[in-house]
């Protein structure tokens, strides 16, 4: 009997309903070609959920995710929701927190033939996703941002040994499968206790990996080094906010933010979520680049293959990446990559290449 994969599918806002179905179609074809069938579980967040059930992140979506091991999440445009839906955590943050998706893995790789400021770039940013300087989501209850008076705003950064140990382990394990270099990014000259603890715990975990070369950078210097010599970095481990900023920079240097893939994972669940946002400026025009979310979906399949030993998923992931690479190398690309293809034309070409 054909073994079935159950995958959650959340379109999200902005360009999400354009790029997420394109990625799902490609995953479907790739898995079907390896002899597997897919059961897609469509779920709502964001505007669609506000319109249908009056909440940006409905409980029924969260409880459906309880039963799934993997899903694709489109972007959310929470800044554009009606004011009463803008008070709490963003939908992405709620999902990451509920399922303890602590590791955000964001590669920045230049595709051959695609115009890029850093065509040799091939690095992975391993971003701690559960605490850090993102004060809106680093507390068990309430928020780490508060205003004692209307003219004073405070934010609390949180770094713990436990969360740093597990993200450092993810980074060093990943480095062992690559060029065996880890760069610890912090700002311990200023945020001495918080990012200093992050640096120290990463160093301690690094001692278990004598084969891995460790370097360190302050986050501001790292931004400059990425521009000047980004191709020299392999695995970069850092806290939540620094990782978010550096990964957008690295993605753009490697080609385009729209091409940047990423997954968020816990010990047993994985969520594909491209590095880009909802891009409301180009939504609804069928011109968004789907490469980021397609690559994220391929990473999701790889992640499950590594966890479960399910070889078919790894084969499908490799075929998807190869099909995207060969499509781009034929000059078929969306506008952000200086091409002329629409989102659907690009997806059609990837399906043909599969």
Q: Alpha helix (H) ranges present in 289-353?
A: 291-308, 311-329, 343-353
Nearest distance in Å: CB 255, ligand ATP: 11
Nearest distance in Å: CB 71, ligand ATP: 18
Six token digits for residue 230: 């980004």
Which string of x and - marks every residue 308-347 that binds ligand ATP (by CB under 6 A)? ----------------------------x-----------
Distance CA 219, CA 197 (A): 15
Q: How far is CA 217 from the centre of its chain?
A: 22
106 vs 276, which CB is nearer to ligand ATP?
A: 276
Catalytic-labelled residue, pool 81, 102, 111, 187: 187
Residue 278 contacts ligand ATP per CB under 6 A:
yes
Q: Count of H helices and E strands in the chain?
A: 11, 12
Which one of 137, 276, 304, 319 is in contact with ligand ATP (CB under 6 A)? 276
Pairing mode, strands 235-238 and 122-128? parallel
Distance CA 4, CA 7 (A): 10
Residue 251 contacts ligand ATP per CB under 6 A:
no
Which one of 288, 323, 341, 350 is in contact with ligand ATP (CB under 6 A)? 288
Residue 289 contacts ligand ATP per CB under 6 A:
yes
Exposure b/e, 322-331, CB count within 10 A at least 16 = b: ebbbbbbeee
Q: Could you tell me if 129 and 97 are in contact, meaning their C-beta atoms sit under 8 angstroms apart? A: no
Chain positions 27 to 86 lying near ligand ATP, rule: CB under 6 A, are 75
Chain positions 113 to 152 lying near ligand ATP, rule: CB under 6 A, are none
Catalytic-labelled residue, pool 134, 234, 269, 336: 134
The residues with which 8 forms a beta bridge, in sequence order, are 41, 71
Catalytic-labelled residue, pool 244, 269, 302, 336: 244
Residue 277 contacts ligand ATP per CB under 6 A:
yes
Residue 258 contacts ligand ATP per CB under 6 A:
yes
279 vs 314, which CB is nearer to ligand ATP?
A: 279
Using DSSP's 3-state secondary structure scheme, residue 207 falls into coil
29 vs 73, which CB is nearer to ligand ATP?
A: 73
Residue 220 catalytic?
yes
Q: How far is CA 310 from the centre of its chain?
A: 22
Residue 257 contacts ligand ATP per CB under 6 A:
yes
Residue 269 catalytic?
no
The residues with which 264 forms a beta bridge, in sequence order, are 104, 271
**Residue 309, by phi and psi: left (phi above 0), alpha (psi -120 to 50) or beta?**
left
Residue 102 catalytic?
no
Catalytic-labelled residue, pool 28, 248, 302, 336: 248
Which one of 292, 295, 325, 339 is in contact with ligand ATP (CB under 6 A)? 292
Could you tell me which residues come within 8 angstroms of residue 224 by beta carbon, excluding any fewer than 6 positions away?
Answer: none
Which one of 57, 126, 237, 282 is in contact with ligand ATP (CB under 6 A)? 282
Distance CA 303, CA 271 (A): 10
Residue 91 contacts ligand ATP per CB under 6 A:
no
Nearest distance in Å: CB 291, ligand ATP: 8
Burial class (CB in 10 A: 0-12, 13-18, 19+), 200: middle
Distance set, CA 292 to CA 83, 259, 296, 339, 343 (Å)? 30, 4, 6, 16, 12
128 vs 336, which CB is nearer to ligand ATP?
A: 336
Chain positions 212 to 241 lying near ligand ATP, rule: CB under 6 A, are none
Number of residues that bind ligand ATP (CB under 6 A): 15
46 vs 277, which CB is nearer to ligand ATP?
A: 277
Residue 97 catalytic?
no
The span from the first CA to the last CA of the chain, in angstroms, equals 24
Residue 122 catalytic?
no
Which are the catalytic amino acids?
134, 187, 220, 244, 248
* Sites of contact with ligand ATP (CB under 6 A): 15, 19, 75, 257-258, 276-279, 281-282, 288-289, 292, 336
């Amino acid at each position: 009997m054909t073994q079935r994969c159950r995958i959650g599918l959340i379109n999200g806002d902005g360009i999400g309903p354009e790029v997420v179905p394109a990625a799902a179609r490609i995953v479907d074809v790739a898995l079907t070609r390896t002899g597997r069938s897919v059961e897609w579980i469509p779920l709502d967040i964001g505007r669609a959920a506000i319109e249908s059930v009056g909440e940006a992140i409905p409980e029924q979506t969260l409880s459906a995710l309880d039963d799934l091991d993997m899903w694709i999440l489109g972007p959310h445009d929470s800044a554009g929701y009606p004011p009463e839906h803008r008070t709490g955590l963003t939908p992405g943050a709620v999902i990451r927190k509920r399922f303890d998706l602590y590791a955000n893995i964001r590669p920045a790789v230049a595709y051959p033939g695609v115009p890029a400021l850093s065509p040799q770039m091939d690095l992975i940013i391993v971003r701690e996703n559960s605490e850090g300087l993102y004060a809106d989501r680093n507390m068990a209850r309430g928020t780490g941002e508060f205003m004692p008076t209307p003219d004073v705003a405070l934010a609390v950064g949180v770094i713990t040994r436990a969360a740093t140990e597990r993200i450092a382990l993810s980074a060093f394990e990943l480095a062992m499968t690559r060029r065996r270099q880890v760069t610890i990014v912090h700002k311990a000259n200023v945020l001495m206790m918080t990012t200093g603890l992050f640096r120290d715990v990463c160093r301690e975990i690094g001692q278990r990996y004598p084969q891995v070369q460790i370097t360190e950078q302050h986050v501001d210097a790292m931004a400059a080094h990425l521009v000047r010599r980004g191709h020299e970095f392999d695995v970069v481990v850092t806290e939540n906010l620094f990782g978010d900023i550096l990964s957008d920079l690295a993605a753009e240097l490697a080609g385009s933010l729209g091409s940047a893939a990423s997954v968020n994972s816990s010990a047993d669940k994985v969520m594909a979520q491209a590095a880009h946002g909802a891009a409301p400026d180009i939504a609804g025009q069928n011109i968004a680049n789907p490469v980021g979310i397609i690559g994220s979906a391929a990473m999701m399949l790889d992640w499950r293959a590594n966890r479960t030993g399910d070889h078919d998923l790894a084969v499908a992931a490799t075929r998807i990446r190869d099909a995207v690479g060969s499509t781009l190398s034929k000059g078929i690309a969306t506008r952000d990559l200086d091409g002329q293809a629409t989102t659907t034309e690009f997806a059609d070409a990837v399906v043909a290449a599969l």
